[in-house]
Amino acid sequence: MLAVVTLRSGEQGRDYRLPTERDYEPISRAETRAKTILDEWERSGKNTHCPFPDEPLRRVPVTFGVINVWVYGMNRWGDIYSCRQKTALEAFGRIQRLAHERSVQHDQNAMALAVSRCSAFWSSLNMWVPQGEFVANVFGRQAMPMVWDFCEVVPTSTASGGFDGAIEWVARVAESLPATLRSGQVEHISADEQYLPDGSANVWFTDPPYYDAVPYSYIADFFYVWMKRALHDLHPSLFKTPLTPKEREMVAYVEGTGTAAEAYARFEIRLAHAFECGRRLLSEDGLGCVVFAHKTTEGWEALLSGLIGAGDRITASWPIATERPGRLRSLNSATLSSSIHLVFRPRPDGAPVGDWADVLRELPNRVADWMERLQGEGVRGADLVFACIGPALEIYSRYAKVVDAEDREIPLGGDPAAADPYQRGYLAYVWEVVGRAALRQVLGEDEGASGLEEDARLGGWCFLCRLVD
């Protein structure tokens, strides 16, 4: 133990002191209590889940290490908690299960959510934030890195990370729900399966994964292991597997001795198939929306190819502020401050063939008009650039295909460095036109861009390319 942080009585701020022998006494009591809990469970014949998470914590099969604690000997989910943290979570979970015995289902669900939130503050992966003097949630980003000097919260504290705060969060969510909330139906099924009749949906909305950016199911196990112990008796169908299912997850996991390129190819095929299923589900006058918050051209090409190839016509794109400012995930990474919502509708079966020359003539004016409109609404930076993609793609996606004067079909993506439009693809022209339009907005109208020397224009264009890539 390095230090003890205390609240100042009757005023704001924190005090810091060195630990004393008395501070170590609860640790010894927690170790004794943890052993007693396990002994009682073993004597009961182990006919229930182990009180502490004993499920294996495996290496994530992605191309970079987002969960690296297993390298340091944390081989089971229970290993990431100290004895005090484990016994505290087990105790609150036991209290929560009493609600089930008293047939208070709603209380049990709400209590389980509060305990689940506490688990993100009561582990050996929580850091102390000196700037604001509070305990940080484990998931400042979608990863579980090793922490060398972690912070323990007093569960009954009213400061950040305490149980009172968790109850307050759950209560605020419940209070914000509409009084006339209607029940819906949720199915646990893969997005690339045909699970409803053709044309039966009026809205198809999705926030898809991006290659291996987030290993969702592996991170979900962090919460699953505690929720399973709290709610298995009440919702057995939701917690029938030891850990969350992973075999069919649409994330670019590297399988066995495979490569990242193979994993990416599998992801793109499945993403396109999911969009095809969504297209079949939508009614002819239905509306679709895809959320995307990534700023690499490769990511956009994979997403747009799947959409347009499935027979969808993109009609608009709107930046919506869904991302928390200053979150760790947004620092030095390919994320936007807003999520771009691509709106699309089914393209009619009898859509015409587009002329490449007409598409190119319409593109600059459409992008400029949309960029001016978005700027008037306060959209800036990379969000402004990527929000113009939708109107640019509407021109291309309204046609069954776009052909040049030699009747060659112009693909959506290709080699941006190629001179031949057939090889470059439409997206290369879109990035160029959007970049030039943004440069004019930054430097002023025609005089701003045309009045600069070639080196200066090139520098501005490289800056915008850096912003996009």
Q: What value, to the nearest 5°, has the Cα angle with vertex 9 and ends 6 and 15?
A: 30
Q: Please name the residue that has the structure tokens 């589900």.
A: 281
Over the stretch 305-314, which tens digit does the pLDDT of each residue have?
888 888 999 9
Residue 331, pLDDT > 80, answer: no
Contacts of 358 (CB under 8 A, 6+ apart): none
- Indicate if the pLDDT at residue 141 is higher than 50: yes
Q: Given a cut of 80, is residue 327 above it in pLDDT?
A: no
| pLDDT reported for residue 332 | 43
Greater confidence (282 vs 332) lies with 282
Share of residues in the chain with pLDDT > 90 (%): 39
| CA distance linking residue 151 with residue 82, whole number of Å | 11
What pLDDT was estimated at residue 333? Answer: 45
Q: How many CB atoms lie within 10 A of CB 66?
A: 18
User: Can you tell me the mean pLDDT for 205-216?
Assistant: 88
The residue-averaged pLDDT of 117-142 equals 90
Does the pTM surpass 0.75? The reply is yes
Which residues 6+ apart lie within 8 Å of 93 measured at CB?
Answer: 112, 115, 226, 229, 230
Can you give the pLDDT at residue 382?
Answer: 74
Question: pLDDT-derived band of residue 294, with 50, 70 and 90 as boundaries?
Answer: low
- The token pair at 419 is 């001179």
Q: Mean pLDDT, to the nearest integer, of 222-235?
A: 91
460, pLDDT greater than 60? no
For the chain, give the number of residues: 469
* pLDDT score recorded for residue 459: 45
Instruction: Find the distance separating the first CA and the last CA of the chain, reported in whole Å.
Output: 44
| Confidence class for position 63, pLDDT limits 50, 70, 90 | low
pLDDT in tens, 168-204: 999 999 888 887 777 788 888 888 888 889 999 999 9
In this predicted model, which residue has the larger pLDDT, 445 or 59? 59
Q: Which of 37-51, 268-282, 311-325 has the lowest mean pLDDT?
A: 311-325
Helix (H) or strand (E) holding 287: strand 282-294
Residue closest to 154 by CA, chosen among 144, 165, 143, 139:
165
Contact status, residue 405 vs residue 353, Cβ threshold 8 Å = no
Least confident of 359-373, 385-399, 439-453: 439-453
Q: What is the pLDDT of residue 48?
A: 84
At residue 318, does pLDDT exceed 50?
Answer: yes
The residue with tokens 């700023």 is: 295
pLDDT tens by residue, 402-436: 999 999 999 998 888 888 888 888 988 988 898 88
Mean pLDDT over each residue of the chain, to the nearest integer: 84
Residues of the chain with pLDDT > 70, as a percent, come to 87
Tokens matching residue 432: 């160029």
